[in-house]
Structure 1
Amino acid sequence: MSLKSFAAKIFAHKVYNDTQKWANNPVATQQKVFEQLLAKAKDTVFGKDHDFNAIYTHTDFTARVPVRDYEDLKPYVERVVKGEADVLWVGKPIYFAKTSGTTSGAKYIPLTKESMPYHIEAARNAILLYVHETGKADFVDGKMIFLQGSPILEEKNGIKFGRLSGIVAHYVPAYLQRNRMPSWETNTIDDWETKVDAIVAETFNEDMSVISGIPSWVQMYFERLQQKGNKKVGDIFKNFSLFIYGGVNYEPYRAKFENLIGRKVDSIELFPASEGFFAYQDKQGEKGMLLLLNSGIFYEFIKSDEFFTENPKRYTIGEVEQGVNYVLIISTNAGLWAYNTGDTVAFTSLQPYRVIVTGRIKHYISAFGEHVIGKEVESALNQAMEGTDVRVNEFTVAPQINPDSGLPYHEWFIEFENEPQDINTFALAIDKAMRKQNLYYDDLIGGNILRTVVVTKVSKNGFQEYMKSIGKLGGQNKLPRLSNDRKIADVLR
């Protein structure tokens, strides 16, 4: 055992003990965060506008601070972007994480000196808890790759900005710098396909032990490796033992990954976002990720089926139920207040609080009142593939409201690695799984309002070409699993 792996095990034990303290006292932990946030921000512009001095309880907070998304909060953010201090949080942010906006171009999410350390600590602690649970630490001696955005930052009114993954690249600890790949020069390449080729060339002969990134883009890296070496990724990297991912559900990719690697490897799921690092997988055998309750974020939850009603109830951590779909609302030490992340989650455990990401509140299908969410389509596809050699590279789902003939239907656009022997039988398997999960959908099929699922095959690399066409190839960009219109579907068509 190397000195580095020995030290990792000692540090992992400390992190585990620290985690248990707050995880076993969830309500008190969140109350403390709530009080600290309000006290710190009471003299900011936002704090004065919303009378923070008069807020003592969560009921007071909900009465004074409405739920907002980025567009609603934008007037405050624009003042911060222009260089004004003490607007949403004390002082000025140290960074803006620049992300793709929905209706008005780029979004600028503030990162403060208080919030930034939690982004780094969460990723580190996820790995250390894995070390504590499994006793495996040898991977720290190998090379580690993190597929991410460019670390080159721009500056706006004295505040640096860039992609979150690029900002985080500046915080890689010194003891990992020697092991970390790709090189700075390769990481700064903007064109994703060129960048992946450069990463393949740079890593091919290295002893890679940890690989991290969004599954769809790691898959592209693996495919290029396999083409270059004409063998499995696990044979190229014999000590590759840990895959770290976030952003999307890994399950639809798992069979393809295991085929590309040639064996199973352990994995750790993360739930990071520009707005905050919300959760990470703390147990290999448990479903769900540990919600980070002591990381400068106060959480509220709104039931998804009530979200678009007037004044829906906002639940705190002590009020949530297992198995219910909630929209995730956050207030943070970066100055986001009752902020709608757009993510939907469900609790898999309440002791401790673990969540799975079920989708996006704006990414759903309800063209006929069926209320289909991301978790349901991912689960249906996985069930349809069970016991078969079918492997899927990527997929998305959209409603077909006005077909040329027959009843409307849900159209599944799937890029197969291994196609099913009979596409219609496979479509019926998906449909059966959907009907078991979603009673509204089942009623629509049973009542002859909808016909069963139609699967449309997408040509190889079709989804990559689509993402490239809209300028979102690679990095932290993700393809929506489903949508309530046919904007994506019509392009794929």
Structure 2
Amino acid sequence: MSLKSLAAKIFAHKIHNDTQKWAQRPVETQQKVFRDLIRQAQTTAFGKDHHFDQIHSHADFVKHVPIRDYEQLKSYVDRVVQGEENVLWKGKPLYFAKTSGTTSGAKYIPLTKESMPFHIQAARNAILSYIHETGNADFVDGKMIFLQGSPKLEMKNGIQLGRLSGIVAHYVPNYLQRNRLPSWETNCIDDWETKVDAIVQETITQNMSVISGIPSWVQMYFEKLVQTAGKPVGELFPNFNLFIYGGVNYEPYRAKFEQLMGRKVDAIELFPASEGFFAYQDSQKEKGMLLLLNSGIFYEFVKADEFFNANPRRYTIGEVELGINYVMLLSTNAGLWCYNIGDTVQFTSLSPYRVIVSGRIKHFISAFGEHVIGKEVEEALRQSVEGTTVRINEFTVAPQITPKEGLPYHEWLIEFENAPEDLNAFALKIDQAMRQQNVYYDDLITGNVLRTVVITPVVSNGFQTYMKSIGKLGGQNKLPRLANDRTIADQLPLL
């Protein structure tokens, strides 16, 4: 055992003990975060506008601070972007994380000196948690790659601006710099396909032990490695034993990844966003990710099926239940207040509090009242490929409301690596799995309102072609698993 791996094990034990202290006192931990946030922001423009001096309880907070998304908070953010101080949080942010917006165009998410350390600590602690549980620390001596956006930053009214992953690249600790790939120059390449080619050339002869990134883009890297080396990734990198991912569910990619790797590799799931680092997988044995309750974020939850009601109830951490689909709301030490990031979660454990990401509140299909969410389509696909030779690169689901003939249906647009022999039988397996999960969908099939699932194959690399056409190939960009319209479905190149 190297000195470095021994030190990692000792540090991992300390961080585990520190984590247990707050994880075993979740309600008290969140109450302290809440009080600190209100106190520190009391004299900001937002705090004054929303009577923070009168907020002493969660009920007071609900009374004075409504639920907002980015568009509804934009008037305050614009003031920050223009250089005004003490608007959403004290002083000025350190950075703006620039993300793709919806109706408002680009979004500028503030990162402050109080919030930035938690982004770094959470990623570090996820790895340390794995080391503590498994005792495996040998990978710290190998090379590590983090597929991410460019670290090049711009200036906007005296505040640095960039992609979150590019900003975080500036905070890689010194003890990891010698192990870290790709090079700074390669990381700065903007074109994703060119960048991946360069990363392949830099890493193909290295002792890679940790690989991290959004699964869809890591898959692209793995495919190019296999094409270049003519062997599975696990054979090319015999010491590659840890895959770290976030952003999307890994399960739809698992079979394809294991084929590309040629063997199983331990994985750690993360739940990061520009707005905060919310959770990480703290156990290889338990389902879900540990919700980070002491990281400068106060969480509220609204049941997804009540979210669009007038004044839905906002639950705090001590009031949530297992298995319910919640919209997650944030108030943070970067100045976001009762902020809807759009993600929905379900709790898999209440001691400690662990969550899975179940989808997006804006990404669902309910063209006929079926309320289908991302978790359901991912689970249906997982069940349908299990124990088969079917391999899937990517997929999305959309309603077909006005078919040329017959009843409406849900169309599954799938890019197969290895297609099933009988596409109709495979579609029926998916349909049955959907009916078992979603009673509304089952009722619509039973009542002959919808016909069963229809699968439409997409050409090889068709999803990459689509993402490139809309300027979202690579980086932190993710393909929606489903939509309530056909905006994506009608643009995909089909077989």
With the shorter chain as reference, the TM-score category is: over 0.9
Query: How does 1:310-349 map onto structure 2 within 5 Å?
Result: 310-349=310-349
Question: What are structure 2's unaligned runs of at least 5 residues?
Answer: none
Query: What are the Cα deviations for residues 406-448 of structure 1, in whole angstroms up to 9, with x where unaligned?
Result: 0000000000111101000000000000000000000000000
Partner Cα distance (1:359, 1:454) in 2: 22
Matched, 1:438 2:443: no
Give the Å deviation of 1:270. Answer: 0.1
SS, match of residue 103 in structure 1: coil
One-letter amino acid matched to 1:204: I
Question: Matches of 1:314 and 1:474 in 2, distance apart?
Answer: 35
Give the equivalent residue in structure 2 for 1:106.
Answer: 106
Letter in 2 for 1:102: T
CA RMSD of aligned residues (A): 0.4
CA distance in 2, matches of 1:256, 1:107: 33
- Give unpaired runs (5+ residues) of structure 1: none
Q: 1:116-149, CA deviations, whole angstroms, 9 ceiling, x for partnerless residues?
A: 0000000000000100000000000000000000
Whole-Å Cα distance in 2 between the matches of residues 183 and 152 of structure 1? 13
Deviations 1:259-304 (A, max 9, x none): 1000000000000000000000000011000000000000000000
For the residue of structure 1 that corresponds to 2:330, the secondary structure is strand
- Distance apart, 1:104 and its partner CA: 1.6
1:56 and 2:56 aligned: yes
Counterpart in the other structure of 1:166 = 166
What is the CA–CA distance in structure 1 between the aligned matches of 2:387 and 2:9, rounded to whole Å? 39
Distance 1:57 1:475 in 2: 40
Alpha-carbon offset, residue 387 of structure 1: 1.5
Per-residue CA distance 1:321-353 (angstroms, 9 max, x = gap): 000000000000000000001000000000000
1:289 and 2:289 matched:
yes
CA distance in 1, matches of 2:488, 2:341: 22
Amino acid paired to 2:169: A
Structure 2 letter corresponding to 1:333: N
Distance in 2 between the 1:440 and 1:141 partners? Answer: 52
Within 5 Å, which residues of 2 pair with 1:120-139?
Answer: 120-139=120-139
Following TM superposition, by how much is the alpha carbon of 1:7 offset from its aligned partner in structure 2, in angstroms? 0.4
Count of residue correspondences? 493
Q: Which amino acid aligns with 1:162?
A: G
Spell out, residue by residue over 1:205-237, the C-alpha distance to the aligned partner (whole angstroms, 9 max, x if none).
000000000000000000000000011001110
Helix, strand or coil: the match of 2:365?
Answer: coil
SS in 2 for 1:72: helix
How many Å separate the matches in 2 of 1:449 and 1:284? Answer: 42
Q: 1:174-208: CA deviations, max 9, x gaps? A: 00000000000000000000000000000000000
Partner residue in 1 for 2:27: 27
Give the counterpart letter for 2:62 in structure 1: T
Secondary structure of the corresponding residue to residue 487 of structure 1: coil
TM-score w.r.t. the length of structure 1 is 1.00
Return the alpha-carbon distance in structure 2 between the equivalents of residues 436 and 58 of structure 1: 38
Give the aligned residue type for 1:440.
Y
**Counterpart residue number, 2:379:** 379
Say yes or no: does 1:68 pair with 2:68. Answer: yes
After superposition, residues 151-300 of structure 1 pair within 5 angstroms as 151-300=151-300
SS of residue in 2 equivalent to 1:254: helix
**Distance in 1 between the 2:4 and 2:159 partners?**
36
Query: Which amino acid in 1 is paired with 2:15?
Result: V
TM-score normalized by the length of structure 2: 0.99
Aligned to 1:404: 404
Alpha-carbon distance in 2 for matches of 1:10, 1:383: 40
CA–CA distance in structure 1, aligned partners of residues 4 and 110 of structure 2:
34
